[in-house]
């Protein structure tokens, strides 16, 4: 067989295998026996081995998983993957519907969907080809897991039309895959996964794609981040179109005209939930009309046009074996219940929060008690009540200690607080928790320095302070368990790279009381460098929006500490950046006075000088907001060639319409 014949046969086999795969994994309607699929796949593998130059990234043979990765690359979502607001009862849903109806003109309808309990993912396609897949991460920054996602057969490597779009959905592990995986792990004397969600997330964050390929994951796609040249005007229409393109969408969605229909859907699936082959933790309700979605807009954290109804928390009864104490980075001593393992809401629970001594006293919780455990919002287990009728008289009362369980210093209760605190700044538990916080994603974001590694470094006495992280040496790291040359080199590179972080990351990482990531950004933008912030007075601080009395007091007190001054000097000497690198106030002022400031802009049609993403980024950098559909709230429509229905609608609504030349002039006038 020559190369031309091989190419023809390869194309024929790929088309057949893609068809069989779509029928089996997406439509759940296989048309050929598994043995025939396997025979065709083996035939394709042999041909690709014989003609390796004909192998392509979208071949069905590439789903088995490629070479292991050293680390996941970071990915910035061009459109943030926001979380949804929650509803816990019928009144919450009715309030959501009322707010939505008051916020738009005309009748409103909703789409209800099952809320899949898995890992949120983003899939990007260019001209119909799958080019990148990422995790949600913190909603703004995720991780590139393309190679692992390619192993999931329900994700198309090629769409049925040459669309350029970014779609969102959930990767999950079906029940049978989860049971099989845990059976294998137990046979290998490995710890089983607690629930299918953890198993799915753990599978997709494996650096070796071959491991993900063996885990039999699945997906449902349910949303769009960006979609060039789409004229679909409803969410339900998008779901239908996604299905036509070859994506697997959940068939159980329903369009509802009234809130009563929504309530019926919620009630039905609350009862039917156990009969599904996958985990769900609620129902998502969305306004169907995309223009109405644009009119309703977003809060800082979530869309106003969607809400997640959370199923009522499940309860279970178990034995409280012991109460364990932990010391956080601020010195707060927290009691935790150690339980006989019990299954609740799809998870094996062995620990539950007791919050503080007052709660233990109020509920008269004793070691040895039978207790009822509840998962609040399907997330955090807590002790709800004691089953007193099960007491035998052998239960033991619990008393908080007078001294810190880690360092032995006296515990104190500050005025107005219920928590006991260790006030020793050199308490090993506080130091270690502080280090874990310092390297975390929203702080210095040092890849490879997870909680286990920090604990290992701390226990080996290689680090005591944040500055010690920047003194770690290659040879001493190589002596540690599970530290190979490649992982050590990557870790040292990540530590070195963190020195260039903007000031707000360092400020948040220092762990100043009451100062979260947002306040750290505000302070960094206001004072621009560490030296000015250190010298700031209480009055100067409270004059800043978002900085209150408690925060100002905490900042002043923090920088008055000699050990803090020494730490800052030490970090600066080690080369850490002490300057704010984000947009300065002056730049913000320019942004606020640009032609796009506070304007809602829609892009449509083809442009010669800019890609859609370039134009969007430039407009947003000047204070504008770019949305996907035209509504009454649109201020400017920028129309390229073949503008289509968005142009017609903008004309009907009397919206300002620019051509590409006007956009170019506006952008160039700013750069001058």
Confidence (pLDDT) at 591: 58
Contact 531, 569 (CB under 8 A): no
CATH topology of domain 315-396: OB fold (Dihydrolipoamide Acetyltransferase, E2P) (2.40.50)
- The helix-helix angle for 503-510 and 517-527 (nearest 10°) equals 130
Confidence (pLDDT) at 586: 44
CA distances from 500 to 226, 444, 497, 572 (A): 31, 10, 6, 11
CA distances from 70 to 37, 256, 472, 490, 498 (A): 33, 47, 20, 8, 18
Structure tokens at 185: 């792990």
- The CA distance from 167 to 120, in Å, is 11
CATH assignment, 503-573: 1.10.150.20
CATH assignment, 590-671: 3.40.50.10190
Contact 171, 218 (CB under 8 A): yes
Confidence (pLDDT) at 608: 83
- The CA distance from 259 to 251, in Å, is 21
639 phi and psi angles, rounded to 5 deg: -110, 120
- Domain pair 428-498 / 590-671, same fold: no
Report how far Cα 35 is from the mean position of its chain's Cα atoms: 39
Q: Which of 3, 9, 74, 115 is catalytic?
A: 115
User: What are the sequence ranges of the domains in the chain?
Assistant: 3-64, 86-310, 315-396, 428-498, 503-573, 590-671
- Number of neighbours of residue 38 by Cβ within 10 angstroms: 10
Contact 326, 419 (CB under 8 A): no
Annotated catalytic residue 499: no
Burial class (CB in 10 A: 0-12, 13-18, 19+), 396: exposed
Task: Identify the CATH class of 3-64.
Answer: mainly alpha
Contact 422, 409 (CB under 8 A): yes
Contact 639, 658 (CB under 8 A): yes
Structure tokens at 668: 């160039």
CATH superfamily of 86-310: DNA ligase/mRNA capping enzyme (3.30.470.30)
Q: Using the Cα atoms of residue 428, residue 431, residue 434 and residue 439 in order, give the sign of their dihedral.
A: negative
Confidence (pLDDT) at 376: 59
Name, in order, each residue with C-beta under 8 angstroms of 179's C-beta and a sequence gap of 6 or more. none
| pLDDT averaged over 10-residue windows placed end to end, the chain, 672 residues | 86 86 73 77 84 82 64 85 89 94 91 95 94 89 91 93 94 92 81 82 86 91 88 94 96 95 95 90 95 86 91 86 92 93 81 87 94 72 91 94 93 83 87 93 89 91 94 94 89 95 94 88 91 94 85 92 91 96 60 76 85 79 79 88 81 90 82 53
> Is it true that domain 428-498 has CATH number 1.10.150.20?
yes
């Amino acid at each position: 067989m020559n190369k031309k014949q091989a190419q023809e046969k390869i194309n024929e086999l790929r088309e057949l295998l893609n068809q069989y795969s779509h029928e089996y994994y997406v439509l759940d309607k296989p048309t050929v026996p598994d043995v025939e699929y396997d025979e065709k796949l083996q035939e394709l593998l042999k041909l690709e081995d014989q003609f390796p130059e004909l192998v392509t990234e979208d071949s069905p043979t590439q789903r088995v998983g490629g070479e292991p990765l050293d680390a996941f690359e970071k990915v910035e979502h061009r459109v943030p993957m926001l979380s949804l607001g929650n509803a816990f009862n019928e009144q919450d849903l009715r309030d959501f519907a009322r707010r939505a109806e008051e916020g738009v003109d005309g009748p409103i309808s909703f789409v209800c969907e099952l809320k899949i309990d898995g890992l949120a993912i983003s899939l990007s396609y260019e001209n119909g080809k799958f080019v990148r897949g990422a995790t949600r991460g913190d909603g703004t920054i995720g991780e590139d897991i393309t190679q692992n996602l390619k192993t999931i057969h329900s994700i198309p490597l090629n769409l049925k039309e040459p669309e350029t779009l970014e779609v969102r959905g959930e990767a999950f592990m079906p029940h049978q895959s989860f049971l099989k995986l845990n059976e294998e792990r137990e046979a290998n004397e490995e710890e089983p996964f607690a629930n299918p969600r953890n198993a799915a997330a753990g599978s997709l964050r494996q650096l070796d794609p071959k491991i993900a390929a063996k885990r039999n994951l699945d997906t449902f796609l349910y949303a769009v981040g960006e979609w060039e040249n789409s004229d679909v005007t409803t969410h339900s229409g998008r779901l239908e179109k996604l299905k036509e393109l070859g994506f697997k969408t959940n068939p159980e969605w329903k369009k509802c005209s009234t809130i009563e229909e929504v309530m019926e859907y919620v009630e039905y699936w609350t009862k039917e939930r156990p009969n599904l082959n996958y985990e769900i933790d609620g129902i998502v309700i969305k306004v169907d009309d995309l223009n109405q979605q644009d009119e309703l807009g977003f809060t800082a954290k979530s869309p106003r046009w969607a809400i997640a109804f959370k199923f009522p928390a499940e309860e279970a009864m178990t034995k409280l074996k012991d109460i364990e104490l932990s010391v956080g980075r601020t010195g707060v001593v927290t009691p935790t219940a150690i339980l006989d393992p019990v299954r609740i809401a799809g998870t094996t629970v062995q620990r539950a929060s007791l919050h503080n001594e007052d709660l233990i006293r109020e509920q008269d919780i004793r070691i040895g008690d039978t207790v009822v455990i509840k998962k609040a919002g399907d997330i955090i287990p807590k002790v709800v009540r004691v089953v007193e009728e099960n007491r035998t008289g052998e239960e033991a009362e619990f008393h908080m200690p007078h001294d810190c369980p880690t360092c032995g210093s006296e515990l104190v209760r500050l005025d107005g607080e219920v928590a006991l605190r260790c006030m020793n700044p050199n308490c090993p538990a506080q130091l270690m928790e502080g280090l874990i916080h310092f390297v975390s994603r929203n702080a210095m974001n040092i890849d490879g320095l997870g909680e286990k590694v920090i604990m290992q470094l701390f226990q080996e006495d290689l680090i005591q302070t944040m500055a010690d992280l920047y003194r770690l040496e290659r040879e001493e790291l190589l002596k540690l368990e599970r530290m190979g040359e490649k992982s050590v080199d990557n870790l040292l590179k990540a530590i070195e790279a963190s020195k260039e972080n903007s000031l707000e990351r360092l400020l948040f990482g220092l762990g100043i009381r009451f100062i979260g990531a947002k306040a750290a950004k505000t302070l960094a933008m206001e004072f621009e460098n560490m030296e000015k912030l250190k010298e700031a007075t209480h009055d100067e601080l409270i004059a800043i929006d978002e900085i209150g009395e408690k925060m100002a007091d905490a900042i002043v007190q923090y920088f008055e500490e000699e050990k803090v001054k020494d730490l800052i000097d030490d970090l600066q000497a080690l080369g850490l950046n002490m300057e704010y690198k984000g947009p300065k106030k002056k730049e913000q002022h320019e942004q606020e006075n640009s032609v796009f400031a506070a304007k809602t802009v829609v892009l449509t049609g083809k442009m010669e000088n800019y890609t859609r993403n370039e134009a969007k980024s430039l407009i947003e950098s000047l204070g504008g907001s770019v949305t996907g559909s035209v509504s009454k709230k649109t201020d400017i429509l920028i129309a390229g060639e073949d503008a289509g229905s968005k142009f017609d609608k903008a004309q009907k609504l009397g919206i300002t319409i620019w051509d590409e030349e006007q956009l170019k002039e506006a952008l160039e006038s700013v750069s001058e």
